[in-house]
Structure 1
Amino acid sequence: MPADADPEPAPAPAPAKRRRPATRKGRPTLTRELIAEAALEIAGDEGFPAVTMRRLAEELGVTVRALYRYVDERQEVVDLAAALFLSRWEVPPLDPGRWREGLRTYLEHQRALYRRHPRALLVSLDERVSPAGVHPNRLRNPEALLGLLRGAGLGARDALYVHSDLATRMFAFTLLVDHPADRGTAGDADATGALPDGWAAAHPGLDLPRLTEAAGLPAPTPDELFEELARSVLADITARLERASEPG
């Protein structure tokens, strides 16, 4: 190159590959996980019928059209939320040799999950969840409970009855006891109030001596009622084990 020639310009650096920002205006960018989380929060507070694409878009601060870049239809949102709900149902290993402690652990974990998203429990009434929305925990944990009961000595029929009875009790307990207490409406018209305010006054012609007497007693707390539920279940299992061990 001649001494007086201008040096060749250095090649321009390759443009940096653009990365999608982790946040936009202080919010995380939209993901299927965020959609599932928002849907579950709505369902847990208000039930799955409140989960609409428009409502989700409002909660997430996006357009409805943006949601459809991540999910094909509302059913997929329901499936994602149901799977997320069940993914949080974690139960430690259950030892049949310590079945009383194991059953209490199972109940406590179930109660904690249900209290977090109470109205999501009604998904089986409000929606039809596709197999994709059935998280493995929905199969794994009942299998573990049945294994605990069978290992403790119950027959297959008794174990299945206890499992079904337990599911019914926990659903009812969550919706009638824990949920009203957690939202501050306990005693209005739930399982902890014998005679909710105003009910007797609305029917002055009724003679209600037993309910009136019960209404004057201190209402049991949700924790006290839960302890009674656990004791009742344990007593039922114990009675079944004793009957199974009887000769003949």
Structure 2
Amino acid sequence: MPEPPRQTRRRPATRKGRPTLTRELIAGRALELAGAEGFPAVTMRRLAEELGVTVRALYNYVADRQEVVDLAAQRLMALWELPALDPADWEAGVRAYCAQLRGLYRSYPRALLVSLDEQVRAVGVHPNRLLNPDAFLGLLRGIGLSAPAASRVHSELGVRLFGFALLVDYPHGRQQAGTAPVPAAWLEAHPDLELPHLTEALRLEKPTPDEAFGHLVDTLVLAIRAELPTG
């Protein structure tokens, strides 16, 4: 008689009241740390403390810290959802694309500095990091932009959203002024300087981050319109 199939032993979902350690759990906690404090905060010792395990236990699931960085970067891009991008309603698609990216960046703002703080290996690149920009470029090409124009728009979008996440949304989330040209305290510390234009700017009513983001996307849409072929 044939032998019965072997029963695969499953790890328990929890152990001593804590979730059982998995690569997914390690990646998620590493991303949370990187999003709040930056990737330099993600050390094996710190990660072990956060997960309530030993450093040795981590090495049962990952080879080294570099693999943790790769896994966290993968997880970030796995959360990047692509909205509908229809050339027949391209403006709505552009706005949805920007809004989705903004939401992702706001969730993990300091993780955006991964390209400055770390070297993510090719194996750490999630397919979304390739598929989603390709789809956005396809939208721009589909409405008539040339390849160079589409590339320019895509690059400009990246710079705008990256800067907005770090200079506006991130400070606002920490109850810091993020839309003023400079902090008011800087002017107060230099009463001997003639700064009429900065003084005037600081007296203006500041837009909310949502209002500022709406303006950012409006100008991007105008830039795309300017690249559309005439006639």
Per the shorter chain, which TM-score range? over 0.9
Deviation of residue 19 (structure 1)?
5.4
AA partner of residue 165 (structure 1): E
Q: CA deviation at 1:17?
A: 9.4
Q: Contact between 2:140 and 2:150, CA under 8 Å: does it hold in 1?
A: yes
Match for residue 32 of structure 2? 41
Provide runs of 4+ in structure 1 moved above 6 Å.
none
SS across alignment from 1:198: helix
State the alpha-carbon separation in 2 of the partners of residues 71 and 176 from structure 1.
Answer: 34
> 2-side partners of 1:209 and 1:20: how far apart?
67
Q: Which residue of 1 aligns with 2:81?
A: 90
Following TM superposition, by how much is the alpha carbon of 1:136 offset from its aligned partner in structure 2, in angstroms?
0.3
What TM-score do you get using the length of structure 1 for normalisation?
0.87
Q: Partners of 2:166 and 2:207 in 1: how far apart?
A: 16
> Residue 211 of structure 2 corresponds to which residue in structure 1?
224
- Counterpart pick for 1:133 among 101, 124, 140: 124
**The one of 179, 184, 187 aligned to 2:175:** 184
Aligned partner of residue 184 in structure 2, secondary structure: coil
- Residues 184 and 202 in structure 2, CA contact (< 8 A), matched pair in contact too: no
Identity of aligned residues (%): 62
Greater C-alpha Rg: 1
State the shift of 1:79 in Å: 0.4
- Letter aligned with residue 105 of structure 1: A
Q: Give the partner amino acid of 2:12.
A: P
Listed one character per residue, the Cα deviations across residues 36-93 of structure 1 (whole Å, up to 9, x for unaligned) are 0010000000111110000000100000000000001000000000000000001123
Question: Structure 2 length normalisation: TM-score?
Answer: 0.94
Shift of 1:194: 3.1
Instruction: From the superposition, tell whether residues 155 and 66 of structure 1 become closer, same or farther in structure 2 (CA, over 3 Å).
Output: same
Q: Tell me which residue corresponds to 2:17.
A: 26
Q: CA-atom RMSD, angstroms?
A: 1.5
Deviation sequence 1:19-48 (CA, Å, 0-9, x none):
533212211010000000010000000111
Which blocks of at least 5 consecutive residues in structure 2 are unaligned?
1-6
1:237 pairs with one of 206, 224, 230: 224
Listed as ranges, the matches of 1:1-248 within 5 Å are 20-185=11-176, 187=177, 190=178, 192-241=179-228, 244-245=229-230
Which residue identity does 1:201 align to in structure 2? E
